[in-house]
Amino acid sequence: MRSLTQRLLIAIVPCSLVAVGAAQANEVDLPSTMAWTAYGTNSSGYAQAVAIGNMLQNEYGSSVRVLPGDNDVSRMTPLKQGRVDLCACGIASYYGAEGVMMFADRDWGPQPIRVITTSTASFGLSLAVAGDLDVETPADLAGKRIAYIRGDDALNKGTEAYLAFGGLTWDDVERVDYPGYARSFDGIIAGDVDASFTTTVTPPAQQLASSPRGISWPVLDPNDEAGWERMAAVAPYFRPHEVTAGAGDISADNPLASASYPYPIVVANQDLEDNVAYGLIRALQENYDDYKDNAPGANGYALEFQDLEWVVPFHDAVVEYYRETGVWNDELQAHQDQLVERQNVLLEAWEAFMQDAPEDDDAFTTEWMSARASALSDAGFEPIFE
């Protein structure tokens, strides 16, 4: 498995796809007003959207209205309905593209979304483990009490992915259910549970680090190919990541070999106007210095942090920009084409399924997931989430 750095080194090789003279022909042409959805007003994702909006207003006179959403559905619904241009979303954008979890629902199904840009900053996403347990790797979690957050698919899938890295499943640990994310960290501090999934910089992780139990983070060996393959089979959006910010003793001088995925993931519908998608990615890259220090994590939008072989396809106009700048090549185009083909398979499967879908909600989800898996397998794709 190539590291993110290796993939980017491949990506920056100039290729024959560069459109000669296109850079001079295309300019930033943004609408006077745009609307985005983002996480709540106290989140770094919201702060980043505001910082980007200020840059767009100052440089191009384009006003951005940022609408905070309390959960994945409230952030994605306005995008689905065409009431906003973009969503600064979390990993639910991937679940939406795949039509799984909360999107395996008759009101949703697979969504034809495209990535504009992502932010991958200095933090990681990991299981925070009580520091008094001597857990060094995910394999050491066997027999431990692990938090399961009711109603939060993304956190639970992250936990499952970490367990898989260590060759474990939920059957190998003691699952402890909690009604919310913050409550699980109260449980760790109180000694009722041993680990919960989070970002390395979140306040609950800081509180755990300051508690008598302390905090530890399992190390993910970047050279453990079998471990990364097991993790990818559960959650293919994770990537190896050297974490330099986090609770405990994580720092630039003491980095943690761990994993991460982008946050936020700025996505649009497939039919977003080309000039808007192109203008956004060009503006974000050319004016990076004007906003990178204006919100926590905003430095993660740099070109060097863009994973050009991720799991959701880019908007065509974003691909055009990367071609112009010389970072796009035949390998990346082949990957993009496969992602688009996968999404088309899912959309066609959904359309066929809905013609005779069961009325019962539980049966609907079960039968859709079966139809989805069959369609992907028949087309030569790995179903995942079966």
The pLDDT, as a whole number, for residue 71 is 82
Closest by Cα among 353, 356, 358, 359 to 372: 353
The pLDDT, as a whole number, for residue 44 is 86
The pLDDT, as a whole number, for residue 246 is 94
Residue whose structure tokens are 């920056």: 12
CATH number of 125-259: 3.40.190.10
The neighbour count for residue 19, using CB atoms within 10 Å, is 12
Counting as low any pLDDT under 70, the low residues of the chain are: 1-26
Cβ–Cβ under 8 Å, residues 57 and 363: no
Q: Output the DSSP codes for 27-92.
A: -----SEEEEEES-TTSHHHHHHHHHHHHHHHHH--EEEEEE-SSHHHHHHHHHTTS-SEEEE-TH
3-state secondary structure of 316: helix
The pLDDT, as a whole number, for residue 26 is 63
User: What residues does each domain of the chain span?
Assistant: 4-120+262-340, 125-259
Bridge partners (DSSP) listed for residue 260: 239
Closest by Cα among 258, 218, 267 to 240: 258
Distances (CA, A) of 140 to 181, 219, 294, 351: 23, 10, 39, 44
Helices (H) and strands (E) in the chain, counts: 13, 12
Q: What's the DSSP call for residue 200?
A: T
Phi-psi region of 63 (alpha: psi -120 to 50; beta: other; left: phi over 0): beta
CATH number of 4-120+262-340: 3.40.190.10
Predicted model pTM: 0.88
Alpha-carbon distance of 268 to 277, in angstroms, equals 8
Alpha-carbon distance of 112 to 312, in angstroms, equals 10
Alpha-carbon distance of 102 to 80, in angstroms, equals 14
| 125-259 has the same fold as 4-120+262-340 | yes
